[in-house]
Each structure stands twice: as structure tokens, then as C-alpha cells.
């Protein structure tokens, strides 16, 4: 069984991905100006609302989690092939 499928490793990778999502979602609350562009004194173009930002973060977090699993698998294979000997 690949290491990234072991319960403990899967839980740890999930925690990292969840923390990534939590931190990214905080960005909207901490600096909402990052999600809009001001033109002159009165015109504002909003790129993301909080809801759309959270949906984007959720999608990114899912992909991030999958990429973490692939990275762990890559290093497991390299280790088993003796690349670090």
C-alpha cells in the first residue's frame, strides 16, 4: 500500500490542505481590497465576492491535496528505488 494511502499520512495531508484553505479564506477578511480594483475615486471593479473566493479556495484546496499525495508518492518511489542511497 502506498504511504499516501495510510490513514495517518492521509490525515496529515488533509490537515495541511485544510490549513492552506483556512489561511487563504482569511485573506478576504484581512484585506478585501485584494479582490477589487479601483478606477479613480468612485469606480470599483470587484473580482471576487467572499462566496466566490471561498469556492475558489475550496477548489484549489482539493487540487492541492491531490498534488500533495502525488508528491509523497514521488518521493516514496524515489526512496524505494535507492535514489537517496
Instruction: Express as a percent the part of the chain with pLDDT over 70.
Output: 98
If you search the block for the grid coordinates 498534488, which residue do you land on? 67
The low-confidence residues of the chain, meaning pLDDT below 70, are 1, 4
Q: Where are the domains of the chain?
A: 3-78
Q: Does pTM top 0.95 for this prediction? A: no
Distance CA 81, CA 85 (A): 9
H-state helical runs in the chain: 7-30, 50-80
Amino acid at each position: 500500500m502506498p504511504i499516501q494511502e495510510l490513514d495517518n499520512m492521509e490525515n496529515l495531508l488533509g490537515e495541511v490542505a485544510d490549513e492552506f484553505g483556512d489561511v487563504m479564506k482569511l485573506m478576504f477578511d484581512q484585506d478585501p481590497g485584494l479582490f477589487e480594483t479601483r478606477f479613480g475615486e468612485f469606480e470599483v471593479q470587484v473580482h471576487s465576492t467572499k462566496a466566490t473566493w471561498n469556492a475558489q479556495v475550496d477548489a484549489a484546496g482539493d487540487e492541492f491535496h491531490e498534488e500533495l499525495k502525488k508528491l509523497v508518492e514521488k518521493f516514496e518511489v524515489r526512496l524505494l528505488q535507492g535514489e537517496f542511497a
